[in-house]
Structures are given as structure tokens and as C-alpha cells.
Amino acid sequence: MLGIVVDLGYVAAQTANALFYSSILFLIASGLSLIFGIMRVLNLAHGAFYMVGAYVMYTVFTRLVSGAEVGVVAGILAAGLVLAAIGYLVEVGLLKWVYSKPEEVQLLLTFALILVFDDTVKIIWGTEYKALQSIPWGSFRVGEYLIPVYYIVTVAVAVVVAFGLWIMFTRTITGKKIRAAASYPDIAAALGVNTRILFSLTFALGAALAGISGAMAAPILTAYPGMGTEAIVLSFAIIVIGGMGSILGSFIGALIVGFSRTFMAIVYPVLEIALVYIVMALILIIKPTGLFGEREVERR
């Protein structure tokens, strides 16, 4: 035990592992949080988007492109684009018809989408785990431990995405319109904002983030049916911890969940999953809006 604690290489490897995992979680949770914070839609199918992203990566990587580096980059871009398109179609074709319906209808619809995506994935890719075989960019050594460079790349992507979202929402007129429409959609519309397009765009963006997350996860975690379920449950925990609709909240929430899972798995595995929910419950008691959630705005 003592030996483990002082082994720098081991600590570095586990930290890298936790950072990688947190980055994946941030990418998926930020999309879920965005969609909920702005459109007040709890998209249960968000995990399915993540899963489809992983399969898109698998296909691009193994079938369409040769060379691991190019394959991974192409897979991430493809997953982002495919999921943006799927998200757009789901919003325009299905969701937009149920905004004015009771919440249960939205939940039922997005739940139905999970079933549709799960079965579609099984039909196209089968039920076995799909591994990518090779991870690009190799690894570097800390003490006795090898850390994949891919971990660092994933962290960098998450940081860039977080920064990009922050710029978008604070510096661009589109971002400001989206924030306005999140509070009072009718007022924004009556002032000349085309909220219809903004909501489609927001949903497509959120779905793309889930797709990118799944694509980045695939080389390490493989692609398999049902991978979305685990991801969405943790994403809910993250946005409850961080605060609905807050990008910074998703970022911090993902770090909390990523690190507590990784280190509990080593220190006291029995509590690996439970700790996440203990933290979540504590935060709900102390600050019900989550760490970075702002006061709820009443909607008309």
C-alpha cells in the first residue's frame, strides 16, 4: 500500500487515466447540459448519440482510412458531423412537435429513440464489442508506467471544446441570442430572433458533442451496444453536480466524477460508483442548483 502511494509513475498513470475519462465525460455531459439548459429538453437519447459516435469512429478507423493518426482525426470529425446531422433531423422531425406537450411526452419520445438507435446499431454493427486494435501516437513512460499520448490529445480536445463553447456563448451574437432565448424564447422571437433555427442548431451542437465524445472514447473503451446507458447516467450526475446549462459546471463536474471513480477504483472499489452519487446527493442538499447553476429563471 505504502509502496503504491509513493510510486510517482503509478500516480501519474492514474491521473492521466482520470483526466482522459473526465474529458470524455465532459464532452458528453456538456452537450446534455447545453440542450437542457437552453431548450429545457431532457434528452434521454443523448447516450445513444454517444454510442453512435463510437461506432462511426470504429467504421471510419477500420474501414475507410488507413493510418491510425489520420483515422482517429477523421473519425472524430465524421462522428461530429454525422451526429450534428442526426441531431438536426431529430429536432426538426420529431422534438419540435412536442415542446408544447407535457414533459412525459418528451421523455417517452427520447426514450423511444434509445430503443431505435440501439437496435439500429445492432443491425448495422452486430452485438460484439468493436475494438480499434491500435491507438495512435504511441505512449510515453513515467517510471514503470506507459501513458498513451492519446490521453493527452483527448484532454486537449476537451479543453479546446470548452474554450470554444465559452467564446461562442460569451462573444458571438449567435451565442448571446441562444442565451436570451433560453430565458424567454417568446420575447426573443418577438424581438426578431429566429428561435426555431437557434433551437435546431443548439440540439445539433449538443448531439455533435456526444458524437465526438463517443468517437474519442472508442479507441480506449471500444464500441458496444448499451455503452450509452452508462454514459448518460454519469452525465446526469455531472450536470446535477455542476449545474444545468453551465459549461464550467460540466467541466468541474466531469473532473469530480472522473477522478472520484478512477481513484475509488484503486483505494476502495466497493464505493467506486456510489461515491459519485454521494457527492451528487451532498451537492443537491447544499446547493440544489449545482455548483455553477444560476438561479432558475421562470419561463412564461
Residues that bind another protein (CB under 8 A): 173, 176-177, 179-180, 182-184, 186-195, 294-295, 297, 300
Judged by beta carbon, residue 104 or residue 298, the one nearer another protein is: 298
User: DSSP secondary-structure letter at 223?
Assistant: B
Q: Could you tell me the smallest distance in angstroms from the CB atom of residue 210 to another protein?
A: 24
Q: What angle do CA 196, 83, 120 make, to 5 degrees?
A: 115
Where b means 16+ CB within 10 Å and e means fewer, 197-216 reads ebbbbbbbbbbbbbbbbbbb
Nearest to 274 by CA among 262, 261, 284: 261
Q: Could you tell me the smallest distance in angstroms from the CB atom of residue 193 to another protein?
A: 6
Judged by beta carbon, residue 198 or residue 217, the one nearer another protein is: 198
Angle, helices 247-267 vs 272-286, to 10°: value is 140
Q: Could you tell me the smallest distance in angstroms from the CB atom of residue 99 to another protein?
A: 14
Q: Could you tell me the smallest distance in angstroms from the CB atom of residue 283 to another protein?
A: 21
Judged by beta carbon, residue 185 or residue 225, the one nearer another protein is: 185
Judged by beta carbon, residue 56 or residue 201, the one nearer another protein is: 201
Q: Could you tell me the smallest distance in angstroms from the CB atom of residue 103 to another protein?
A: 18
Judged by beta carbon, residue 134 or residue 183, the one nearer another protein is: 183
The backbone torsions φ and ψ at residue 148, rounded to the nearest 5 degrees and listed phi first, read -65, 135
Place of cell 463553447: 165
